[in-house]
Amino acid sequence: MTENLSFGENPKGCSLDEKKDILDNAARLAVVGARRNIATAQINNLIEFIQALSDEPISLLYLSAFVMRQAARKAIPYDFAIQLKNILINFYERGCSRGEALKLLGVVKWLTEGISVSRQRPRDARSFEKLIEQLG
């Protein structure tokens, strides 16, 4: 996926399946983040960073670079960063922009907070439904 990245040549419009691409990816990210004790403040930093950028697809690449910087500084877990970076690049390649990243990060934040207060740690996060089922 990332080896075919061609800057500035993404298609017009975003072609995402919100359930699969946002909710299911958010569930997987939240489980990784919760297992690695990611701070909610760090997810907020990512949200604030993308909000400061223009609503163009290239903003997803800037966020990807910021994510990797935060991982290098050990502010966010490396495996969380790699997974998020890959999702963001996929969104970019499909013509998406800031709005989709904000939805993804918002749901990641909510789910991470939910996991942190749950008495039961999720065993599997293949889908949003599976995670919600395990938390409640």
Encode the chain (136 residues) as per-residue pLDDT tens digits.
444 444 444 445 788 787 888 999 999 999 999 999 999 999 999 999 999 998 888 999 999 999 999 999 999 999 999 999 999 999 999 989 899 999 999 999 999 999 988 877 787 678 999 998 888 7
Rounded to 10°, the helix 58-72/40-51 angle is: 150
- Residue 12: the pLDDT is 56
Give every CB contact of residue 6 below 8 A, 6+ residues apart in sequence: none
| Cα(49)–Cα(35) distance, integer angstroms | 24
CA distances to 80, 86, 126 from 3, rounded to whole Å, are 20, 11, 25
Q: Are 109 and 40 in contact (CB under 8 A)?
A: yes
Q: Where are the domains of the chain?
A: 16-135
- Residue 120: the pLDDT is 77
| Cα(92)–Cα(50) distance, integer angstroms | 13
